[in-house]
Amino acid sequence: MRLDVVSIFPDYLAPLRLSLVGKAVDSGILDLRVHDLRDWTHDRHRTVDDTPYGGGAGMVMRPEPWGEALDTLAPPGGAQPRFVVPTPAGRPFTQDLAAELAAEPWLVFGCGRYEGIDQRVVEYAGSRMRVDEVSLGDYVLAGGEVAVLVIVEAVARLLPGVLGNPESLTEESHSAGLLEYPVYTKPATWREREVPPVLLSGHHGQIARWRRDEALRRTARRRPDLLSRLPADELDARDRRV
């Protein structure tokens, strides 16, 4: 998968060279290219922002450098990427969207700063490529860079060959619309706290049932919104008793 990231702080994306995502880059699974938006400015101060039309606080990113960045990375008429713009005004980023993005051959991320990017950039991009304005949650970050780190990590670990054990994908939180059950490792007793005995029993059926119950209880307590969104056939009769 090819990944282009456009930012006025390219150094912010340095963590993409580390750990799991870094290994995907080193092995060629991810073709990562980070660009400085200011390379597409032409004035002495390499200006990327200006005051908002209509007034108000803060600055808005001017459209021209973004237009040139898009035209350079994905010339009109050629193959087109999917353009992802993190913004608190976007639609929620979810595991389903991560899976959808992981199926794309090419993603371009546009990192906004200040009060955001002139809306015509998204409109223009949308005339020739798929555009997603995506929010990580109901809080405001200083810019899109940290959101890109999050989104790329969630996407990269779904790419074939990135996880050592792809089975961890099927077991984890959100894969069945539920939060993950609690996990334990050795020692069996630690500071007078025991691992739940069923996990030491060797009864695979009972262990699976216990994990399912814990996942249901946790989800009901912490994320009742997720439970109410589960398709009816996701819950069996045992589940309903938990």
Residues that bind ligand ADE (CB under 6 A): 86-88, 135-137, 139-141, 144, 147
Closest distance between ligand ADE and the C-beta of residue 8, in Å?
Answer: 14
C-alpha distances (whole Å) from 43 to each of 63, 65, 67, 115, 189 are: 14, 11, 16, 22, 65
Closest distance between ligand ADE and the C-beta of residue 142, in Å?
Answer: 7
The reply to whether 137 sits in an annotated binding site is yes
Comparing CB distances to ligand ADE, the nearer of 65 and 144 is 144
The reply to whether 39 sits in an annotated binding site is no
Closest distance between ligand ADE and the C-beta of residue 127, in Å?
Answer: 23
Structure tokens at 23: 């290994």
The reply to whether 70 sits in an annotated binding site is no
Comparing CB distances to ligand ADE, the nearer of 87 and 219 is 87
User: What beta strand segments (E) does the chain contain?
Assistant: 2-7, 31-36, 49-50, 60-61, 82-92, 106-110, 130-135, 189-190, 193-194
Comparing CB distances to ligand ADE, the nearer of 137 and 166 is 137
- Rounded CA gap, 161 and 76, in Å? 32
Closest distance between ligand ADE and the C-beta of residue 234, in Å?
Answer: 28
Structure tokens at 173: 């939180």
Comparing CB distances to ligand ADE, the nearer of 95 and 230 is 95
The reply to whether 141 sits in an annotated binding site is yes
The reply to whether 136 sits in an annotated binding site is yes
Q: What residues contact 98, with CB distance under 8 A and at least 6 apart? A: 151, 154, 155, 158
- Decide: 41 and 48 in contact? Cβ < 8 Å: yes
Comparing CB distances to ligand ADE, the nearer of 131 and 216 is 131
DSSP, collapsed to helix, strand or coil, labels residue 88 as strand
Closest distance between ligand ADE and the C-beta of residue 88, in Å?
Answer: 4
Closest distance between ligand ADE and the C-beta of residue 113, in Å?
Answer: 9
State the pairing for strand pair 130-135/189-190. Answer: unpaired
Structure tokens at 47: 């200006």
The reply to whether 114 sits in an annotated binding site is no
Structure tokens at 79: 């193959």
Closest residue to ligand ADE using C-beta atoms: 86
The reply to whether 36 sits in an annotated binding site is no
Comparing CB distances to ligand ADE, the nearer of 139 and 186 is 139
Tell me: cis bond preceding 187? Omega within 30 of 0 counts.
yes
Residue positions in the annotated binding site for S-adenosyl-L-methionine? 112, 136-141
Binding-site residue positions: 112, 136-141
